[in-house]
Structure 1
Amino acid sequence: MPSDCITFQESGYFSKLIVDYLNQKKEVQTLYNRFSRVEEFEAQIAEKKENFSGNRTVLVQSLENQYKGIPISESTGNNIETLRSQNTFTITTGHQLSLFTGPLYFIYKIVAAIKTAEVLKTQYPDYDFVPVYWMATEDHDFDEINHFFLNGKKISWNRDAKGPVGRLSTEGLDKVFDILELELGIGTNAKQMKELFRKSYLEHHNLAIATRYLVNELFKDHGLVIVDGDDKELKQQMIPYFKEELRNQKSFNAVQETLPFFEKENYKIQVNPREINLFYIEDNLRERIVKINDHYQVLNTNLSFSEEELLNELETQPEKFSPNVILRPLYQEVILPNLCYIGGGGEIAYWLELKNMFKQFKVTFPILYVRNSAVAVTEKQLRKIDKLELNWKDLFLKKNELLNVKTKELADFPLDFSKLKEQLSLQFSQLYEITEKTDVSFLKAVKAQEQKQLNGLYKLEKKLLRAEKIKQQDKLERILELKDSLFPNESLQERILNISELSNEINTKQFISSLKNYFNCFNDNFTIFKL
């Protein structure tokens, strides 16, 4: 079975910026350091090794503290310990604390990091490479993570939420578990998924620890290391950078210099920098820090600081300062000996805004790798694809376009009037020549007549297409049914389906291991995964 079907560039699911990035368009090359190819990592290793200023001992100690109470595998334990070595580097992906992993691409990102680390070890045996999942514990967008979809239903964790999501108690998740039990039904795999949810969320007191347990259980056999940035010791390494941010708005100025290029090239700006890109956080608080005259204010609170007071607060309680989407990548690259960040199209788009900021802070900019994407397909669906004479390029089309393409293919006579339109245009071009030799006043009349006849052909073409759709209705409905099962809501399957939905077809750990084998690193093709 083929492992790929269509390139990201052809799929229609990626922005102009990401398409140009993947095509290595010359103008975009100024936005990144090195492109995501295996051979580029030799220079990336050398640069990171020379410039990495993070404290490896502190990193390992923090990770050991974060994993207390969580049973880890030998491979994960070894990977944590090997981070002490100057010849060890990380391959990192990150994501929100999505309930029960949320959509499938959560899984795909981590598998891509694991596979990349393995490929690099083969290519560069003198070094070690550790796959890392960075938990977005300090995020506050609860509505984005409090649900997942199963069997077409949205299963939500309904509660009030304030402050960093990682610190939220797991209260109320017993009700989600009750719904999950009913939806998953019976079977060995379903039973395993229920037990995984129960142990993760009902036996741990906050969302960060619950998510660590969950992700560790899914990926511990592959040596994944999970990092929580909501950590005082790790943030102490960021004090000099946060001081620069508070005093001089360094990141704002650096990113602002890049944005005119995005506007010039008609690229969507993914994130806009604030003058200060830091939040002030406590258990039930996450609010922006703003400078008003000579004082610093925490928005929507009574907290106000002079510069001296705020810098003293930073020195003594760095855990109360949280980087936003602009500064979080810098935090990651300061504390981790990281070579590569793996993310979706939207993530890579905002990383491409940040190179100048990294330069200003004198921190090595990582290689950016657009994560693998996949479509999971059953044997039954594959048989339907063959029976309906579809290919993957067909299935990636939007519904209307797919219907039009297949209707024209199924018709007994041509429904495309392109040749007729060309012939008509050729005839009128001869009329234009005559008009120029006789009376130019006829030009408008000739143009009007041409447009009238073209409109007539267009209307006739639409009418015939509509009639043929009615004639082929049964087959077209089966095509749409298949399309909807593989691309729910006209979206990529990976953006909606939860891993629990696949438990009827495959064991979860088997799915992850097989997926790793299917994925090709640094490949711009969608992967077709047979369940």
Structure 2
Amino acid sequence: MKVTQIPFQKTGFFSNIMLDYLEKKESIQPFYNNFPDISGFHNQIEEKQKSFRLQSRLVLVDALKNQYKGFNVSKKTEENIETLKLQNTFTVTTGHQLNLFTGPLYFLYKILSTINLCEELSEKFPEQNFVPIYWMATEDHDFEEINYFNFDGKKVLWNREDGGAVGRFSTEGLAAVFDVFSEHLGHSKNAEFLKKLFFDGYLKHHNLADATRYIANELFSDYGLIILDGDDASLKQLFTPIVKDELENETSFKAVSKTIIDLEKNYKIQVNPREINLFYLGADFRERIIFEEGVYKVNNTDITFSKAEILKEVDENPKAFSPNVIMRPLYQEVILPNLCYLGGGGEMAYWLELKDYFKEVAIPFPILLLRNSVQVVSEKQAKKLEKLNISLEELFLNQYDLLSEKVIENSEIKVNFNEKIQFLQKQFLELKEVAKQTDVSFVNAVNAQERKQVKGLENLQKRLLKAEKKRQTDLVERITLLQNEILPNQSLEERQRNFSEYYLEYGSAFTKALKVSLKPLQLEFTILEL
């Protein structure tokens, strides 16, 4: 096993807002609180310790014990749940949808990054306890985002009627999915493990939340991971003051809208708030709450409330009120003694819209940490890269640029068009100085001639590249096939593949290798050669 770290910037797959955040650029600083380094965690611990109440800890522990009933709980996870009662215990949290059989590979990277960060913080702050949390997105209702996973280039799909919070979905119909998936796995020891994990998860549990808890627990409980379901009446009871404030004052809309005005001066906005950022949850629906003509309405239903009625409903039926993407982060921070949220670039981007909202409701804004990203390269692929003289950083180049670079390197014709273009531009600089002493028409003529000459050289460069690529067809095909194999659809494989492909080949050694390799506070992209 060989581990290489490269800057996120070198991959070309991360947004400007994330790259600026990692570099702590001045333009992004107003939108976060403490940065994810040891100094930032020191400040965050002090801030959270002052604000999080003992009573909330006791409610959280009781809720977790209820949620884990009927599950095998590891000693480490059991200890971590009990430790949450202590005022010197804090959480580090990641969240993920209830994707079928964990969905894309980065599910593993999120959770292992969270576990590793807790271990590192325990070393740096021995007087505190740190507990890893996986927040299951049980209240999401976009079923099409989670009803499949990719295996060996094929989509394994679960078809069923859509409607309501996905965590409450029955697992009925997944036996047929199991039969299809099993056919592709074979009969090796690792294949049998995957079959059992799928079967016991989905065919022995009645809803998607329990099935997902079982699978995540089987994979990570030895590390003390706590799996949390926010669709819980006792936990939502803690959130009722915020829910009432939202219904009466539309606080999140006002605060986030104000932040967006400043944020969009430099960055693309990830999500926009609604006037009320809450859903109403029924047995088979999750619909927006809308305030119109003095009445609270549940969209696409006949359910309505007066102000007094809806506030009473919050007290009597808190589980019916479900925060959307704007309010879910706040719900998390209200019920957890949380220091840090780990997520992908898209998640971080919408969190960066929320700092002023947290300040408005007097809840500490957590540290935001871009999760570890990993590219796995097999020993065979590494040898091919070496033979083709492609470095690990070059692997992430746009395919056209990669092919151009390697074809030129391998060409017997050595013409550096970039140097010639630069030389030409330098000559025209001198002409422009002369032109300034004449009239505007001559200046324009010089500029036009420069563009024409540069364009001519660029066209010659393209024609030479095209001819060389045709002449070096074998090299072009080998590079194209290899890059497409490592980066399917010219994208990071972590967004395309499922962990089962690697588990089938490497078994538990795969997750162990990831556990050893991921360094969340290094803030770099990981390449793992197996």
**Interval containing the TM-score (normalised by the shorter chain):** over 0.9
SS in 2 for 1:213: helix
- The answer for the alignment partner of 1:14 in structure 2 is 14
CA spacing shift, 1:459–1:317, aligned 2, 3 Å: same
Query: Distance between the aligned counterparts of 1:502 and 1:97, measured in 2?
Result: 20
Distance 1:30 1:426 in 2: 42
- Map 1:379-418 onto structure 2 (within 5 A): 379-418=379-418
Matches within 5 A, 1:77-92: 77-92=78-93
Which residue pairs with 2:110 in the alignment?
109
CA gap 1:440/1:365 in 2 versus in 1, 3 angstroms: closer
CA distance in 1: counterparts of 2:317 and 2:57, whole angstroms:
21
Q: CA deviation at 1:136?
A: 0.3
**1:58-457 matches, cutoff 5 A:** 58-265=59-266, 267-432=267-432, 443-457=443-457
Are the counterparts in 2 of residues 94 and 134 from structure 1 also a CA contact under 8 Å? yes
* TM-aligned CA distance change 1:435 to 1:522, over 3 Å: closer
Once the two structures are superposed, residues 142-196 of structure 1 have per-residue CA deviations (whole angstroms, 9 ceiling, x without a partner) of: 0000000001001110111100000000011111101111111221111100110
- 1:470 aligned onto 2:470: yes
Range 498-507 or range 343-352, more displaced: 498-507
Partner of 2:25: 25
Give the partner amino acid of 2:60: L
Q: CA deviation at 1:9?
A: 2.2
TM-score w.r.t. length of structure 1: 0.97
Judge conservation of contact 2:10–2:396 (CA < 8 Å) in 1.
no
What SS class does the counterpart of residue 137 from structure 1 fall into?
Answer: coil
1:430 Cα offset (Å): 4.8
Distance in 1 separating the partners of 2:80 and 2:436? 80
* Preserved contact between residue 101 and residue 498 of structure 1 (Cα < 8 Å): yes
CA contact (8 A) 1:408 1:416 kept: no
Partners of 1:34 and 1:40 within 8 A in 2 = yes
CA deviation vs aligned residue, 1:70-91 (integer Å, no higher than 9, x gap)? 1111101111111111111101
Q: Is the 8 A contact 1:75 1:221 kept in 2?
A: yes
Give 1:279 shift.
0.3
* Whole-angstrom CA distance in 1 between matches of 2:387 and 2:445: 51
Q: Does the CA contact (< 8 Å) of 1:415 and 1:465 recur in 2?
A: no
CA distance in 2, matches of 1:68, 1:242: 28
1:332 is matched by which residue type in structure 2?
Answer: Q
Alignment partners' CA distance in 2, 1:440 and 1:271: 48
Contact 2:3 2:529 in 1 (8 A): no
Whether the 8 Å contact between 1:235 and 1:318 is mirrored in structure 2 is yes
TM-score, with length taken from structure 2: 0.97
CA distance in structure 2 between the partners assigned to 1:529 and 1:422 by the alignment: 39
Taking a change above 3 Å as real, the CA distance of residues 443 and 133 of structure 1, as seen in their structure-2 partners, is closer
Q: Distance in 2 between matches of 1:412 and 1:264?
A: 49
Amino acid at match of 2:248: R
Query: How far off its partner does 1:38 sit?
Result: 2.1
Q: In structure 2, what is the equivalent of residue 512 of structure 1?
A: 511
CA distance in 2, matches of 1:450, 1:241: 63
* More divergent stretch after superposition (273-282 vs 47-56): 47-56
Letter of the structure 2 residue corresponding to residue 210 of structure 1: A
Mapped partners of 2:194, 2:440: distance in 1: 78
1:40 aligns with 2:47: no
1:488 maps to amino acid: P
Aligned length: 529
Deviation at 1:43?
1.6
Q: Deviations over 1:198-225 (max 9, x none)?
A: 0000110000000000000000110000
Whole-Å separation in 2 of the counterparts to 1:445 and 1:27 = 40
Distance in 2 separating the partners of 1:445 and 1:254: 53
Give, in angstroms, the shift of residue 454 of structure 1.
2.6
Rounded Cα–Cα distance in structure 1 between residues aligned with 2:117 and 2:436 = 66
User: 1:26-70: CA deviations, max 9, x gaps?
Assistant: 221111110000232122111101011361111111101101111
Cα separation, 1, equivalents of 2:498 and 2:125? 35
Native 8 Å contact 2:503 2:510 kept in 1:
no
Deviation at 1:374, TM superposition (A): 0.4
Deviation at 1:421, TM superposition (A): 2.2
Kept in 2: contact 1:415–1:464 (CA 8 A): no
Contact 1:339 1:366 in 2 (8 A): yes
CA distance in 2, matches of 1:510, 1:450: 59
Deviation at 1:524? 2.2
Paired residue secondary structure (1:27)? coil
| Residue in structure 1 matched with residue 4 of structure 2 by the alignment | 4
CA distance in 2, matches of 1:441, 1:379: 62
CA deviations 1:227-257 (Å, max 9, x no partner) are: 0000000000011110000000011111011
**CA-based RMSD:** 1.6
Letter in 2 for 1:269: I
Contact 2:6–2:525 under 8 Å retained in 1: yes
Pairing 1:530–2:498 present: no
For 2:132 and 2:469, locate their aligned partners in 1 and report how far apart those are by CA, in whole Å.
50
In the alignment, the residues of structure 1 paired with residue 451 and residue 86 of structure 2 have an alpha-carbon distance, to the nearest angstrom, of: 73
5+ residue gaps, structure 1, are none
Conserved 8 A contact 2:57-2:84: yes
Is the contact made by 2:342 and 2:370 (CA closer than 8 Å) also made in structure 1? yes
Does the 8 A contact of 1:372 with 1:523 survive in 2? no
C-alpha separation in 1, matches of 2:422 and 2:406 = 23
